[in-house]
């Protein structure tokens, strides 16, 4: 299968999974349960996961989904799918629209294809990194090409931050830069802000961010000309343990050039990142 057909398949499955989420929305929000790691899960997460797994099964590729991963190390693969059936489950349960379906394909450990779909609005962002193709599809089905802003930063940089997982490290960076914090629930929707020109960066020091949270968003941002690294300026890895232990930085090239010195200062100041940060 070519990456072109991979992208079309992932787009269709993300939208289909979004429909499955909306079909069970009232009862799913009313009856959340907890997984063994104490994170929430709902019938909507499971319905979305089922649609995507069944839709990708015929490819024969390895699949890592939040709802089926049982721990251990992720192997190294020429092709592997990373799926978050609902990124932002806590926002979903709280009745907010800040949740999305994410489907990402890594080739040789590098995010290649990504689709982010927001069921509540019908908005979709998708990208093919190697081709430099990034598109936003609005709720009416209109497609718009996307490239990150190449102009200089505003006087007060706009930094997307987590709603559910506050970070002392990120709070320090935002305050020191005189930045404008933009709270947003899902990792994918934070990346959507950057490719839409509504934010300059997304920073997190949380160790709760995992490979399925970042694969699709990373591919979308890379396709738009953006950059994604850890707080230690290393590429995000998609083998080994599932958590990104050194945080995540997603930004435009201009934002990285201007903000990274302060990020590295924070890394030293806080001795990198702790589980509670």
What CATH number is given to the structural domain containing 198?
Answer: 3.40.190.80
**Domain encompassing residue 231:** 158-269
Per-residue pLDDT of the chain (277 residues; tens, 9 = 90+): 566 799 999 999 999 999 999 999 999 999 999 988 888 999 999 999 999 999 999 999 999 999 999 888 999 999 999 999 999 999 999 999 999 999 999 999 999 999 999 999 999 999 999 999 999 999 999 999 999 988 889 989 999 998 877 778 889 989 988 999 999 989 999 999 999 999 999 999 888 899 999 999 999 999 999 999 999 999 999 999 999 999 999 999 999 999 999 999 999 998 764 443 3
User: Could you tell me if 168 and 227 lie in one domain?
Assistant: yes
Last residue of one domain, picked from the residues 100, 115, 145: 145
Q: Do 128 and 222 have their domain in common?
A: no
Domain co-membership, 9 together with 130: yes
State phi, psi for 183 to the nearest 5 degrees: -70, 135
Q: Are 7 and 141 found together in one domain? A: yes
Query: Collapsing DSSP states into helix, strand and coil, what is residue 176?
Result: helix
Q: Is the same domain home to 62 and 116?
A: yes
Domain at 65, CATH number? 3.30.540.10
Q: Model-level pTM greater than 0.85?
A: yes
Cβ atoms of 200 and 158 closer than 8 Å:
yes
Neighbours of 182 (CB within 10 A): 17
Q: Residues 13, 133: one domain?
A: yes
Residue 276: inside a domain, yes or no? no
Pair (59, 131) in one structural domain: yes
Write down which residue in 103, 124, 145 finishes a domain: 145
Q: Do residue 17 and residue 112 come from a single domain?
A: yes
Enumerate residues 6+ apart whose C-beta is below 8 A from 176.
Answer: 262, 265, 266
Q: Terminal CA-to-CA distance of the chain, rounded, Å?
A: 41
Domain count, the chain: 2
Token pair 């930004």 in the structure block, residue: 251
> Which positions ≥6 away from 99 have C-beta within 8 Å?
86, 87, 88, 89, 91, 92, 118, 119, 120, 185, 186, 189
Question: At which of 145, 171, 193 does a domain end?
Answer: 145
**In this structure, are 169 and 137 located in the same domain?**
no
In 28-154 the beta strands, taken as DSSP E runs, fall at 33-34, 40-41, 63-65, 79-87, 100-107, 110-118, 123-128, 133-137, 143-145
Residues 118 and 19 occupy one common structural domain = yes
Same domain, 79 and 114: yes
Q: Does some domain include residue 265?
A: yes
């Amino acid at each position: 299968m070519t990456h072109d057909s991979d992208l079309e398949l992932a787009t269709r499955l993300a939208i289909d999974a979004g429909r499955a989420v909306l079909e069970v929305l009232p009862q799913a929000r009313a009856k959340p349960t907890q997984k063994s790691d104490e994170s929430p899960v709902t019938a909507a997460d499971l319905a979305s996961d089922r649609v995507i797994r069944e839709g990708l099964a015929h490819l024969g590729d390895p699949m890592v989904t939040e709802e089926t991963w049982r721990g251990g190390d992720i192997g190294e693969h020429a092709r592997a799918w990373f799926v978050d059936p609902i990124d932002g489950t806590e926002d979903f349960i709280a009745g907010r629209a800040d949740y999305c379906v994410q489907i990402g394909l890594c080739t040789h450990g590098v995010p290649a294809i990504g689709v982010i779909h927001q069921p509540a609005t019908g908005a979709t962002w998708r990208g093919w990194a190697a081709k430099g193709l990034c598109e936003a599809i609005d709720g009416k089905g209109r497609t718009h090409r996307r490239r990150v802003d190449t102009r200089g930063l505003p006087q007060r940089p706009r930094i997307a931050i987590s709603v559910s997982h506050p970070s002392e490290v990120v709070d320090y960076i935002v305050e020191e830069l005189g930045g404008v914090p933009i709270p947003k629930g899902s990792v994918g929707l934070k990346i959507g802000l950057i490719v839409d020109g509504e934010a300059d960066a997304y920073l997190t020091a949380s160790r709760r961010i995992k490979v399925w949270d970042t694969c699709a968003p990373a591919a979308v941002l890379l396709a738009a000309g953006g950059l994604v690294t850890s707080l230690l300026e290393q590429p995000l890895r998609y083998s080994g343990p599932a958590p990104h232990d050194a945080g995540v930085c997603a930004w435009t090239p201009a934002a990285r050039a201007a903000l990274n010195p302060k990020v590295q200062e924070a890394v030293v100041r806080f001795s990198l990142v702790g589980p509670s940060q």
